[in-house]
Amino acid sequence: MAVPKNAFSLWGQYLAARTAEMVLTTFEARDNLRAAGAIGQAIYYISKRHRERAMIHLRMAFPDKNEEQLKELAIDCFEHFVQLVVEVCHTPRLIGYDTWHERIALGPLAPAIRMLNEGKPAILITGHLGNWEVLGSLLAILGYEVDAVARPLDNPLVNDWLLGIRQKRGLRIITKWQASDRMMEVLRNGGALGIIADQNAGEKGMFVPFFGKLASTYKSVGLLAMRQKVPVVCGYAHRVGNDCCYELGVEDIIEPDQWANQPDPLFYITARYMRAIENMVRRVPKQYLWMHRRWKTRPAHEKAGKPMPDTLRAKLESLPWMTPELMTSLQQPVPEIPGRRR
């Protein structure tokens, strides 16, 4: 979102957002989700840059699908994005202390819940998949102490409003990645730290596999886990149907004893949690934000047109799930992806 130039712009955006919320919540969630889907489909055809980016990403991720199948997935992705906005307005009213069980089905969660019941600290990982807000909200509703890391919005008025929605059920928000002291404190006190961990991490990120290509990924998760010796829990909240209903589950739990003897523990943790996110996305690919610039930053050897360095190759080959086919794919460069013009 562009930074507003003055107070008039700030208040204009805020009032527009609150008005939209008021209008939306006068109608049934099912009707709004249907309308949001139609708007998302229109955005797919209007926004050429985002449409092309989503299609390139989908071709990379699903080389076995034809163009018609990929187009259908891309349209579903745009519909899902607009439906998320509707859900932000509706879920605080629909999912509460006495009603959450009517809209949320619990999948394989037992090991993670047992961990939280015992007061053990954990890092909770998810991606831009399904409705990630529901994950933290439900845990807070159930009485677990959860602090979630979130990037603050450029408009402070809109940001404070959304923070209020997130914190209504007891979810606490850490608004800056630089707040490392608070994140460490949460884990030291036996709390759960929630992080959306599938963003592009830039030049300083660690390059690990994601849908057959190297993707720059944050080191923070692995460093925190190693420093505090806490497990990394990879979970999801998929939308089910068209009435603000969800299924929650855990894809993988990375325990300290599983990385202790790895050649490069930080690389192993980072690659494994990205593998978990990839597996979650493969189940419901239409609920992932394929228009995000996940593969924006490229490794130095790829930008220079050189072969993969032996050190990186060795790290990749040490991963227990590595295959010759995946290694071949990882050595192929990513096609040029449309970005914001400067």
Reported as a single tens digit per residue, the pLDDT across 265-305 is 999 999 999 999 999 999 999 999 999 999 999 999 999 99
Q: According to DSSP H, which parts of 209-317 are helical? A: 220-228, 256-259, 265-283, 300-303, 310-317
Decide if 86 is inside a domain.
no
- Can you tell me the mean pLDDT for 96-109? 83
- Give the span between the Cα atoms of 293 and 49, in whole angstroms: 11
31 lies in a domain? no
Q: How many CB atoms lie within 10 A of CB 218?
A: 21
Domain presence at residue 8: no
**Of how many residues is the chain composed?**
342
Non-local CB neighbours of 234 within 8 Å, separated by 6+ positions? 125, 126, 250, 251, 252, 253, 254, 273, 276, 277, 280
Q: Which two tokens stand for residue 85?
A: 């906005």
pLDDT of amino acid 131:
87
Give rounded-to-5 percent helix, strand, coil for the chain.
50, 15, 35
Instruction: Name the amino acid, one letter, at 158.
Output: V
Q: What is the pLDDT of residue 153?
A: 65
Choice among 87-91, 168-172, 187-191 with the minimum mean pLDDT: 168-172
pTM confidence score: 0.89
Q: What are phi and psi of 84, to 5 degrees?
A: -60, -40
Which residue shows structure tokens 């008025």?
Answer: 157
On the question of pLDDT at 188 being above 60, the answer is yes
Which of 26-40, 69-83, 171-185 is modeled with the greatest confidence?
69-83
In a domain, 109, yes or no: yes
Q: What is the pLDDT of residue 341?
A: 45
Whether 49 is in a domain gets the answer: no
* Residue 25 maps to a domain: no
**What pLDDT score was predicted for residue 41?**
92
**266 or 119, higher pLDDT:** 266
Residue-range definition of the domain harbouring residue 216? 98-330
Note whether residue 78 is domain-resident: no
Domain count, the chain: 1
| Beta bridge partners of residue 123, listed in sequence order | 193, 232
Is the pLDDT at 59 greater than 80? The verdict is: yes
Task: Say if 157 falls within a structural domain.
Answer: yes
Distance CA 81, CA 204 (A): 28
Q: Is 216 helix (H, G, I), strand (E, B) or coil?
A: strand
User: What is the number of helices (H) and of strands (E) in the chain?
Assistant: 15, 9
The pLDDT of residue 272: 97
Tell whether the model's pLDDT for residue 1 goes beyond 60: no
